[in-house]
Amino acid sequence: MVIAKRKTILICSLYLLFNLGCAPKVKESYDEKEGYAGSISVSGAFALYPLVILWSEDFKKLNPKVRFNISAGGAGKGIADVLTNMVDIGLVSRDLHVQETERGAFPIVVAKDAVIATINSEHPNIQLIKERGLKRQEFIDLFINQKYKNWNDLDSRFIKQPVEVFVRSDAAGAAETWAKYLGQSQEDLKGIGIFGDPGLAQSIKDNKLAIGFNNINYVYDIVNKKTSANITVVPLDINENGKIDAEENFYDHLDSLVNAVSKKVYPSPPSRDLLFVIQKDNSSPLVKAFIAFVLEKQQQAILLPNGYVPLNEEIKNKELEKLSK
């Protein structure tokens, strides 16, 4: 199964939100013939949102009396909602903070992916940018220090036009992970704030001088596995030798990038774990059954075709053990 176009998914999510969000909560129960009945509410990270739509649809095939209320609003909203009992599951695409675990946040790793630097594919110097990549310090000087006013301040061969840096305006796992790669936190990122992964990607597409960062699945076309129109990836110069070597050049195809994340060739951060977060004292058999379902081999198998990295057996079994505690 392949994730549908983002616009279709967002329309479907609004339908789910307005038709299920206002519906009375279904009493939780289990029947050997009909499976579970009840409601599961989910909110949070844009990175996980498309996957949860797929997982919920598959779960409902086995448990048709289960209702889902799923919304995307960023990792910060997901963790806040679960800690205030607004939802059953928070979608979080960053490491949990100490104060969050102290308040009862309980994380379950369900997948892996990465944050990538993005740029308009029509940038006047796009070919040179792809050949040289950017070093970590250059990203720091772009997103933290605001050192470069014009592109040619970064490299004299670049055009003398303003650098347009875009960041996230919402509390986001992608932003926190990107900032962590740069040795900082999201609050330290400088630039024009844009809400949400789709919004930031669209801002990059609309501005030929723009640079930003996105989750993988908002950059690549899931069908042809190439970058979407008007947006592409800024390669990381991992060994910092001033050029993108063959072993660093894995961005042309989604499968090669996911493989680099899986083999840890692409660094962590900005690759990261994707989490379901529940309240530590959540005793709902339905919620735990859904999480266990997500960790099953069949459901993990949909990750690679959709641009995510599945969990290995060791990690998967470790996460399953958490549910029995």
Q: What is the pLDDT of residue 289?
A: 98
Question: Letter for the amino acid at 203?
Answer: S
Task: Judge contact between 270 and 116, C-beta under 8 A.
Answer: yes
Domain residue limits, the chain: 6-113+273-323, 115-262
The answer, yes or no, to whether residue 325 has pLDDT greater than 80, is no
The answer, yes or no, to whether residue 3 has pLDDT greater than 80, is no
Q: What is the pLDDT of residue 234?
A: 99
Task: Judge contact between 271 and 112, C-beta under 8 A.
Answer: yes
Q: Which residues contact 250 (CB under 8 A, 6 or more apart)?
A: 256, 257, 259, 260, 265, 266
- pLDDT band at residue 7 under the 50/70/90 scheme: very low
CATH class of 6-113+273-323: alpha beta
- List, for residues 74-99, the tens digit of each pLDDT value: 999 999 999 999 999 999 999 999 99
Please name the residue that has the structure tokens 């599951």: 89
pTM, 2 dp: 0.89
Q: Which residues contact 251 (CB under 8 A, 6 or more apart)?
A: 116, 227, 232, 233, 235, 257
Q: Which architecture, in CATH terms, is 115-262? A: 3-Layer(aba) Sandwich (3.40)
Contacts for 263-270 with beta carbons within 8 Å, 24 or more apart? 265/238, 266/114, 266/236, 267/181, 267/236, 267/238, 269/115, 269/177, 269/178, 269/180, 269/181, 270/114, 270/115, 270/116, 270/177, 270/178, 270/180, 270/181, 270/213
- Helix axes of 49-62 and 6-20: crossing angle, nearest 10 degrees: 60
Quote the tokens at residue 7.
């616009």
| Three-state secondary structure readout of the chain | CCCCCHHHHHHHHHHHHHHHCCCCCCCCEEECCCEEEEEEEEEECCCCHHHHHHHHHHHHHHCCEEEEEEEECCHHHHHHHHHCCCCCEEEECCCCCHHHHHCCEEEEEEEEEEEEEEECCCCCCHHHHHHHCECHHHHHHHHCCCCCCEHHHHCCCCCCCECEEEEECCCCHHHHHHHHHCCCCHHHCCCEEECCHHHHHHHHHHCCCEEEEEEHHHCECCCCCCECCCCEECCECCCCCCCCCHHHCCCCCHHHHHHHHHCCCCCCCCEEEEEEEEECCCCCHHHHHHHHHHCCHHHHCCCHHHCCECCCHHHHHHHHHHHCC
Whether the bond between 124 and the residue before it is cis, its omega within 30 degrees of 0, is: no
Report how far residue 81's alpha carbon sits from residue 33's, in angstroms, rounded to the nearest whole number.
Answer: 33
Tell whether the torsion through CA atoms of 226, 228, 230 and 234 is positive or negative.
Answer: negative
Report how far residue 5's alpha carbon sits from residue 75's, in angstroms, rounded to the nearest whole number.
Answer: 21
Report how far residue 46's alpha carbon sits from residue 115's, in angstroms, rounded to the nearest whole number.
Answer: 12
Q: What is the pLDDT of residue 24?
A: 54
Q: Which residues contact 24 (CB under 8 A, 6 or more apart)?
A: none
Taking residues 50-66, report their average pLDDT: 97
The answer, yes or no, to whether residue 6 has pLDDT greater than 50, is no
Q: Do domains 6-113+273-323 and 115-262 have the same CATH topology?
A: yes
- List, for residues 97-131, the tens digit of each pLDDT value: 999 999 999 999 999 999 999 999 999 999 999 99
Task: Judge contact between 151 and 163, C-beta under 8 A.
Answer: yes
